[in-house]
Structure 1
């Protein structure tokens, strides 16, 4: 069996190894979340049960059925953006700007869950809108990411021509690009959300990453508090930030994938050279043994005095 055949067979175990690393990574994450959030979840449940019993004891006219009805009203009010502190809805709930922002969360697959179509026609349209919008969004983001990469490479080539330092220049340009993107799409939005939403800085940076990574839990959603009045430009700024932030994060992820693939290729080449040296060394040893055996088998003439 040749070297190429052995290397091609070696790819199969690498797939299983990659799958094993993936499963292990997910399980480790599950264990960490279980340890960090499990006890808090139990405490929250006990606290909610205690508050429920206290509420039923305070308002004796409210039974279990009445409590469930109140809970349903609260749930329905949150879906339509109705403020329970007053009789008004949040400014912009299902108006054009918020609807356009909702459409952006659909095609980007963020899907917070704070807004969803309730009519049959709206739900059917959402299916077809997402069916064609998600591939279109991927194509556009890919193209924008390539333009951003071209700009980065042009700057790098220009500086290389001035400094004659290829590796240092590319490293410096990549570093400045990453830091500028982090400041533009994470630090500045974090400050804006802290001012307009009243979140802490950790909550704001958490929301930025959950949004731009398209995870979209929906536990924190900007421009969605019915008790706040948002400026008109807020929804437009949100949509712009999401679009270009997704393009930048996709570019960053592509850079990370490229680095991992280069490392994988490097290790494969190292393993292939080592394997080839072992095989060539074994072949040379076999040749020497064969040569010795052949020399031993040669009939030498008797020594005469």
Structure 2
């Protein structure tokens, strides 16, 4: 009887959600990918078509001006130029780019490998180097993650230390945490994203926006390879340049990992804050299923983790629902 009453009373009231959170998360992920696909297609497709038409026009103009050069020979020359650019061996005049396999080029390739950036402008071509790259990345990527985690932990400790000092001086923990967090965010933006484009603009001849784009694409480990430092054969680069950029990549990735971790924690906290139960117009909560106790009383199943809202409100509502069920069992 109590089970029937409980089922009748639970109709139109709150029920625990049955769908797991994985399905909405996957749907949101696919929707975000679809959004990016549409926007990139709309923005880049016209420019790509124009570039393709311009290349064909220049190619046929070159063949008309130089009748001794046939189409297959020109295509072979173009493929050779592309291969030379990928290996960093572009020769203009008497100078070559620094992207080839010299000491600094090899060092920068090692950094881009273990940091999973992979610009794509330089890659091993011998089978021995490819096999070594597999084992080098297999050990280097976890080692890089450990180093980044350690650096991020040191940065976080520094922020907490500053917060404790400000707390002792101001006697206001919330204000101290807010100020130190804002200071860490602004100083990181200035040191890793706003100032480095000035160096890239001076050394590479890029605009500030191009340098900022390269900085973010590098630190986020996306690494498209459309902008790579030290690849202009008409420029002379000092030896400290790539070493400084390598250190900037290491510490900048640690800082950006902290920012991404903060954003991720906020998103996860926001997702957990939503109640797993749908409220009815009366605002009561009922368990999803019931069972019979040892004395014939109807008892609710233990609440699943995350099924009821966190905090005293959810606990009170759940206790009220359990009290109603116990009273019903005693009356029966």
What's the TM-score bracket when you normalise by the shorter of the two chains? Answer: 0.7 to 0.9
1:278 alignment partner in structure 2: 284
The gaps in structure 1 that reach 5 residues or longer are 295-305
**1:54 equivalent among 61, 75, 79:** 61
**1:163 equivalent among 160, 166, 170:** 170
1:259 alignment partner in structure 2: 266
Aligned length: 282
Conservation of the 8 A alpha-carbon contact between 2:112 and 2:119: yes
1:68 alignment partner in structure 2: 75
Shift of 1:63: 0.9
Shift of 1:109: 0.5
Conservation of the 8 A alpha-carbon contact between 2:99 and 2:122: no
Shift of 1:187: 1.2
Shift of 1:201: 1.1
Conservation of the 8 A alpha-carbon contact between 1:80 and 1:93: yes
Residue 28 of structure 2 is aligned to residue 21 of structure 1: yes
Residue 42 of structure 2 is aligned to residue 35 of structure 1: yes
Conservation of the 8 A alpha-carbon contact between 1:56 and 1:63: yes
Q: Output one character per residue of 1:224-256: Cα deviation in whole Å (capped at 9) or x when no partner.
A: 222211011001101101100111111111111
2:195 alignment partner in structure 1: 188
1:300 alignment partner in structure 2: none
Give me the whole-angstrom Cα distance separating, in 2, the residues matched to 1:167 and 1:274.
33
Change in Cα spacing, 1:92 to 1:27, as seen in structure 2 (3 Å) is closer
**2:161 equivalent among 133, 154, 157:** 154
Conservation of the 8 A alpha-carbon contact between 1:83 and 1:227: no
Comparing both chains, which one has the higher relative contact order based on Cα–Cα distances under 8 Å and sequence gaps of 6 or more? 2
The gaps in structure 2 that reach 5 residues or longer are 1-5, 7-14, 287-316
Q: Normalised by the size of structure 2, how large is the TM-score?
A: 0.78
1:232 alignment partner in structure 2: 239
2:143 alignment partner in structure 1: 136
Say what the alpha-carbon RMSD is for the aligned residues. 2.7
Q: Normalised by the size of structure 1, how large is the TM-score?
A: 0.85
Conservation of the 8 A alpha-carbon contact between 1:81 and 1:226: no
Q: Output one character per residue of 1:162-181: Cα deviation in whole Å (capped at 9) or x when no partner.
A: 11222222111111111100
Conservation of the 8 A alpha-carbon contact between 1:82 and 1:226: no
Change in Cα spacing, 1:21 to 1:33, as seen in structure 2 (3 Å) is same
* Structure with the largest fraction of strand: 2
Residue 228 of structure 2 is aligned to residue 218 of structure 1: no
**1:243 equivalent among 238, 242, 250:** 250
List, as ranges, runs of 4+ consecutive aligned residues in structure 1 with deviation greater than 4 Å: 271-277
Shift of 1:91: 4.1
2:303 alignment partner in structure 1: none
Conservation of the 8 A alpha-carbon contact between 1:102 and 1:115: yes
